[in-house]
Amino acid sequence: MTVTRRAAVLGSPIAHSLSPVLHRAAYDELGLTDWSYDRFEVDEAALPGFFEELGPEWAGLSLTMPLKRAVIPLLDGISDTAASVDAVNTVLLTDDGRRLGDNTDIPGMVAALREHGIEEVGSAAILGAGATASSALAALARICTGEVVAYVRSEARAAEMREWGERLDVDVRTADWADAAEALRAPLVIATTPAGTTDALATAVPERPTTLFDVLYDPWPTELAGRWSMFGGAVVSGLDLLVHQAVLQVEQMTGRSPAPLEAMRHAGEKALAAR
């Protein structure tokens, strides 16, 4: 196989990334036999040097932590979506040498929710206040008509979430993490915290839960998601998000649309099952 076009995911740590599995599955389905997709361990200090080595065969890059903000000064421009949260997870390398940044996490969240029948909600709750929480707020700006309550551990984080709310034109109220069990009664709950953080909340799942969007995918299900499903609630997983944002990346990088969503999802599920 002669590779004429290259793409990859960068980040640190990166060994766990499912992006190569998803993108390669798309290439196979689309018949793009001359495309390759790899992963590279790259931190903030090494990122400028990596960019300097990119040749004309490169079509695009996927970025994970800690590079989503660090990459912005290296780009020739970013989309309004990326600018709304100061985070880029997709870099397109154009034929005329430009580096353009976008954020597919936000529309990916919206698409994952819509796939589960969530087109609009009157209110929502967010568990956590990190970078993923700001993307969740940006997604909610598109589908939530009322208040979003963010449950956080510190006043500094609370202030950040209120600032993001103002910037994104979302009505945000903050609450202490000690009261996070109250979040579970919201019409839509988005859990954006690291693995294990929400385990203690599993016993507080209400008898008739609504919809939980848990951005984790490994390990899966989380304690909270498992209990939520057991009680009959709808669950959107981190794999749903990963696949939908990757679909948008494939379409942008290859120029082929639509990307094969189901083939990519199946490949992701198979890879997770093998872990």
Residue 185 DSSP symbol: G
Q: CB under 8 Å to 43, separation ≥6 — which residues?
A: 12, 66, 67
The Cα 94–Cα 42 span in angstroms is 22
The Cα 127–Cα 168 span in angstroms is 18
Catalytic residue among 23, 68, 99, 244: 68
The Cα 226–Cα 18 span in angstroms is 22
The Cα 241–Cα 89 span in angstroms is 13
270 is catalytic: no
- H/E element, 240: helix 238-254
Buried b (16+ CB within 10 A) or exposed e, 80-89: ebbebbebbb
- CA nearest neighbour of 86 among 78, 94, 76: 78
Active site residues: 68
